[in-house]
Amino acid sequence: MFSTNLGLEFSYETYKETADWLLSKTSHRPKVAIICGSGLGGLADSLTNQDIFKYSDVPNFPQSTVKGHAGQLVFGELNGKTCVCMQGRFHMFEGYSLTKVTFPVRVFQLMGVKVLFVTNAAGSVADGYNTGDIMIIKDHINMPGLIGLHPLIGPNDERFGARFPSMANAYDKSLRNLALDVSKELQCSDYVREGVYCMVSGPHFETIAEARLLYKLGVDAVGMSTVPEVIVAKHCGLRVFGLSLITNKVTREYESTEVVDHGAVLSISEMRTGVLQNLVTELVARMKVNDDC
The CATH code of the domain that includes 247 is: 3.40.50.1580
Which residue, 113, 30, 96, 24, is CA-closest to 61? 96
Is 232 part of any domain? yes
Give 53's strand partners. Answer: 73
Q: Which residues face 116 on adjacent strands?
A: 33, 240
In a domain, 137, yes or no: yes
- Answer whether residue 5 is part of any domain: no
Residue 291 has pLDDT above 70, yes or no: no
Radius of gyration of the chain measured on its C-alpha atoms: 18
Q: Is residue 169 part of a domain?
A: yes
| Confidence class for position 69, pLDDT limits 50, 70, 90 | low
The model's confidence at residue 45, banded by pLDDT at 50, 70 and 90, is confident
Tell whether 50 is covered by a domain.
yes
Distances (CA, A) of 224 to 200, 228, 283: 5, 10, 25
268 vs 39: CA distance, rounded Å: 8
Structural domain containing residue 159: 12-286
Say how many domains are in the chain: 1
How many CB atoms are closer than 10 A to CB 126? 18
pLDDT computed for residue 265 by the predictor: 67
Question: What residues form DSSP beta bridges with 83?
Answer: 32, 76
Q: Which amino acid is it at 278?
A: N
Report the C-alpha gap between 167 and 104 in whole angstroms: 20
Residue (of 160, 144, 185) closest to 238 by Cα position: 160
Q: What is the value of pTM for the model shown?
A: 0.92
What confidence tier does 39 reach under pLDDT thresholds 50, 70, 90?
low
* Residue 274: CA count within 13 A, CB half-sphere: 3
Residue 114 has a pLDDT of: 97
Asked, for residue 75, whether it belongs to a domain, the answer is yes
Provide the angle, in degrees to the nearest 10, between the axes of the packed helices 173-185 and 262-286: 100
Q: What is the pLDDT of residues 93-146, one digit of tens each?
A: 999 999 999 999 999 999 999 999 999 999 999 999 999 999 999 999 999 999
Q: In whole angstroms, give the CA distance from residue 205 to residue 250.
A: 8
With contact defined as beta carbons under 8 Å apart, do 194 and 135 qualify?
A: yes
DSSP 43: G
Answer yes or no: is 110 within a domain: yes
Residue 4 lies in a domain: no
